[in-house]
Chains A and B, each alone.
Chain A
Amino acid sequence: MKDSRRSRLFLGLLLAVALVLITVDHRSENTPVFGPLRTIVTSAFGAVERGVSTVTEPIGGFVGALAGAQGSREQITNLKAQNSKLEGELSSQRIDKRRSAELQAMLGLSGLGGYKVVPAQVVARRASPGFEDAVEIDAGTADGIKPDMTVLNGQGLVGRVVRATASTATVVLLCDPASSTGARIENSGELGVVSGLGANGNSGRRIMFRLLDSTLPIAAGTRLVSFGSQQGVPYVAGVPIGVIEKVEATPGELTRTAYARPFADLSSIDVVGVVVEGPKRDPRDALLPPAPKPAAKPKPKPKPATSILPGQQAPPQIARPGTANPETGPGNTVPQNTRPENTAPENTAPENVSPEDTAPENVAPGNGPTTDRDDRGPAEPVRGRDGETSISDDEAA
């Protein structure tokens, strides 16, 4: 009896403490007590998570390859092809390669929009039901990351930073129910709000778009870009968000509701970029991937792309001629573009005299870099082409 009463008392005490904690923390974020506590514990756990992540990341990659195969037939064939390759290849090598492709895509996108990004890698994730959808990345205030910065990857918007310690930062994803983002319909100025659906988002439609003007029709397939907040906090303008898949009939409501699929695959994000400085000009629809309806007037600013942080300056510059070549090399007749590409094969392969003399720019650059970057995903060259042509338009004009 005594033991039971004691234990019940104890339980009551602990529950009361938990409730007090919840109440205090709910009322005010980062109170003088909890703020430092959180910071200390977060940095300690963050370091551990970084360590564990580096050890265990092949596991995720392996299971990812397996689980992805169930999805579609195309992926099964992909996996089979990969399997044969895998026999002679270490899995870690493959993961590195995929990661570098992701990084290239991300840097390509950010270069296109003129964002200054800090690349980072996801080390931990939380997704228990009823709680936030958030990830931890391995870059922090030491890399210039502050709360309320936009996070994107090679496909589109991922989320925003909510908390940053010296070496890690917490990112709340786009699909978290508590996150909402200003969004704009492509090719128009129509505005709306994108909010996460959390666990309610089924079959990949993880975000909800509410168009503020309820009289306008929206069609499935319409694509959304971020509208951008004041001074780019927390969201910079022009980042692709997603494509609308289902429009809900909401007669009599003040807004129109639609369900959309984010461009970024939020269930398996790995390499992300944190935008530490937004573009000087809104890139409008330039960052959207080419689709059945190509974006009408892509107008990116080419200058900021070159002024990316010193560490990241090289990759986008390599990425863009490389990705541009396989498809637009022949079609692109603007001299500004082909000239730098033309010099590259000259330097690398001087013995290749005859194609240089006889064949013009179109053939030579198509050969060299394409073989180097064969293993890149299919989406990136297309995007690179879009950016390349648009830059040439700008420079020609």
Chain B
Amino acid sequence: MPRILLTTLLVLTALVLQVTVVNRLPVSVVPDFVLLVVIALGAIRGPVAGATIGFFSGLAADLLPPADHALGQHALVLCLVGFTAGRWAERWPLLTVAACAVVAPAFALAVSGLLGDPGIDLRTFEAVWPMAALVNLLAAPVVVWAVLKVYGPRPEKATAAAVPGWRRA
């Protein structure tokens, strides 16, 4: 129970600070701290928890005030990202976190494009994705370190035991 509270608090803090402080910095590209927190939590907690955390963080991000997109867009993206981070972080932790941080902005763009949001085309990918991936990559170690600090290292061996079980399958 305290873990759930801690997770909620962590995600909500990231959400609010992202829109009130980080996004308002007068620089063109900023890292997405909500995404990075979800990746870190997913990597620590495993796939199921990662997907759940991602889904509800995304839902909160969709509802967070300056919002004018379809409800569920962030939820879809972050759910999948949390699952991915939890699934492969056991084997290749660094690689998984980096890959998630890089691929997630592209995935978010792709979802927006598929939903028919105006102004999303291949040029947008070229203009946005490299920089977004880069700043996410730079900020990822800091966020993962901070989340590990708050959360403690992998809490139990249950997830570790689950992986061999998966391997047998």
Contact = CB atoms under 8 A, between A and B. Distances in A.
B66 interface: yes
Size bin of chain A's contact surface? 35 or more
B10 interface: no
Interface string A175-186: 011100000000
A18 B20 CA distance: 26
Given A22-B70, A26-B70, A46 B47 contact: no
B67 interface: yes
Interface string B59-83: 1100111111111111110011001
B21 A132 contact: no
B118 to A, nearest CB: 5
A22 B73 contact: yes
B72 A200 contact: no
Contact of A45 (B58, B64, B132): B64
A198 B58 CA distance: 22
B71 A129 contact: no
Given A21-B72, A129-B129, A130-B111, A196 B79 contact: no
A176 B20 CA distance: 19
A1 B162 CA distance: 8
B52 to A, nearest CB: 7
Interface string A1-30: 111101100110011011111101110000
Contacts of A135: 66
B155 interface: no
B80 A125 contact: no
A359 interface: no
B142 interface: no
A168 interface: yes
B25 A198 contact: no
B26 interface: yes
Contacts of B120: 130, 177, 198
Interface in A13-60: 14-15, 17-22, 24-26, 34, 37-38, 41-42, 45-46, 48-49, 52-53, 56, 59-60
A19 B60 CA distance: 16
Size bin of chain B's contact surface? 35 or more
Interface stretch (A62-70, A214-222, A250-258, A296-304): A62-70
B148 to A, nearest CB: 22
A187 B3 CA distance: 64
A130 B108 CA distance: 6
Contacts of B66: 124-126, 132, 134-136, 170-171
A15 B69 contact: no
Contacts of B87: 7
Contacts of B8: none
A93 interface: no
A367 interface: no
A127 B27 CA distance: 11
| Among B32, B67, B79, B165, residue most surrounded by chain A Cβ atoms (within 10 Å) | B67
B105 A129 contact: yes
Interface of B: 15-17, 19-21, 23-28, 30, 32, 46-48, 51-52, 54-55, 58-60, 63-76, 79-80, 83, 87, 105, 108-109, 111-113, 115, 117-120, 123-124, 127-129, 132, 162, 165-166, 168-169
Interface of A: 1-4, 6-7, 10-11, 14-15, 17-22, 24-26, 34, 37-38, 41-42, 45-46, 48-49, 52-53, 56, 59-60, 63-64, 67-68, 122-132, 134-136, 162-163, 168, 170-172, 176-178, 196-200, 202, 267-268
17 contacts: A7-B48, A14-B54, A17-B55, A21-B72, A25-B70, A42-B63, A49-B16, A60-B24, A126-B19, A130-B108, A132-B69, A134-B67, A136-B19, A170-B65, A177-B118, A178-B68, A178-B118
Given A15-B76, A56-B20, 8 more contacts: A3-B165, A20-B72, A56-B17, A124-B65, A125-B19, A126-B67, A131-B73, A177-B120
Top-4 shortest CB links A-B? A177-B119, A21-B72, A1-B169, A18-B76
